[in-house]
Amino acid sequence: MEVYAWGANSHGQLGLGFESELCMTPQRVAKCSFAPAQVRFIRGGGGHVLVLDTSGRIHACGWNNRGQLGLDSTEECHSEFKMIPSEYFGEVPVETISCGWDISGAITLTKRLFVWGSNAFQQLGICQRGFTAVRRPMPVKLPREEAAQRISFGLRHCAVLTQDNKIYVFGRLRIMDPPPMELDITATCLHRCNTVKIQVHNPNELRIVSISSGQNHMLLKCADLSESGGGSTKRILTLGDNKFGQSNAFQFEEDVRQLAVGWTHNAAVLKNNEILVWGRNCYGQLGMGSFSEQQAIPTPLRLKLPEDQAPARIHMGAEHGLLRTTAGLVYTWGWNEHGNCGNNSTDNVCTPTLLQLPPVKLCGAGAGFCYAITEPVN
């Protein structure tokens, strides 16, 4: 297996051993601190990337101005991958990871939450005094020591979903008024840090099962526990800025299999493999075949792939998209200023475009860059 990366590389985030303005085509990453066959997740931030392997270890590369690599380093950039010492997590394997603009987080198998990077807006969930930046993973206790299940970062906020289906939001996320009637939202304080607690009004009827953050908005995937709902996950609730329709909420016809969120645009993959997109489209980031400079797309539209292709996983950068099909093909579209679409151009792309890569097993995206791990070719 091989690792490929393309797009913005001004902070060495492509792991190529050097820094450059851009790489317009997929480049092979020759030196890794992980085995490509053992990668579980790839998550990208503003200029850094985290890789989680099957042993629960995290590998980091790229921008480190706020300590977001978690290496306890003061170096501004690391252009090659290094493993975050497992001792920083108490020798407990990590289960899931997430990246924000200049912040990172992880949840261990024991459901402990760790965060590191910028705390300029108290998005680490601790008082800013003495902690404007944290350079190695730091455990954060939730109220009543609740177990963390999922973590999601926006530009200036961190959202944590607990195992008992509450959400805690640290930092700055402007929640539009009025909020969804199904939610109870209260202001509280945690570690001398202003915190917002979100929970459903009737937990016997609705349950929050996943969260996804954009620049200044958040999508909540919900399970309908009512007798008629039968546990279906067709419902999306939203919070935050809605300038481009990115916080419009919907009840879909099919269960939502996956949500992917960019800065101001969203995608939902349904159980029937239909892909629906909505939000801002000035760079073609919705992949609809056109650019919408003045007008956003406030209601979901179908993203079209060739008839014989089905989506396996979709990823959103700041303003571009990356999709892997079940056949291992990769399509990109949207903002392309840094070559983040990988098509040997810097022109924005408004339609999903096939990349010339060997069959791809796994992908990931950051603000302006992409990663792919390819299968061996016989």
pLDDT tops 80 at residue 290: yes
Q: Which two tokens stand for residue 158?
A: 């961190």
Confidence category of residue 253, pLDDT binned at 50, 70, 90: very high
Q: What is the pLDDT of residues 62-103, one digit of tens each?
A: 999 999 999 999 899 999 999 999 999 999 999 999 999 999
Q: What is the mean pLDDT of residues 183-205?
A: 88
- Domain of residue 198: give its range: 2-374
Residues 6+ apart with CB under 8 A from 57: 34, 83, 84, 86, 93, 94
Q: What CATH number should be reported for the domain holding residue 24?
A: 2.130.10.30
> Domain tally for the chain?
1
> What confidence tier does 294 reach under pLDDT thresholds 50, 70, 90?
confident
SS3 at position 319? coil
Cis peptide before 178 (omega within 30 of 0): yes
Residues paired with residue 59 on neighbouring β-strands, in sequence order: 51, 83
Sheet of strand 360-365, all strands in order from the earlier edge strand to the far edge: 20-28, 2-9, 369-374, 360-365
Q: For residues 22-34, give the mean pLDDT.
A: 95
Do the beta carbons of residue 348 and residue 284 sit within 8 Å?
Answer: yes
Q: How many CB atoms lie within 10 A of CB 138?
A: 20
Q: What is the pLDDT of residue 351?
A: 96
C-beta atoms surrounding 203 within 10 Å: 13
Q: CA distances (Å), 163 to each of 142, 145, 180, 210, 219, in order?
A: 11, 11, 22, 11, 18
Residue-level pLDDT at 188: 82
What mean pLDDT do residues 143-162 have?
A: 94
Q: For residues 300 and 268, is the Cβ–Cβ distance under 8 A?
A: yes
pLDDT in tens, 4-14: 999 999 999 99
User: Which residues, including other chains, have CB under 8 Å from residue 71's CB and lie 6 or more apart?
Assistant: 60, 64, 78, 82, 84, 135, 136
**Mean pLDDT, rounded, of the chain:** 94
Q: Rounded to whole angstroms, what are the CA distances from 323 to 36, 264, 267, 272, 287?
A: 19, 18, 11, 16, 11
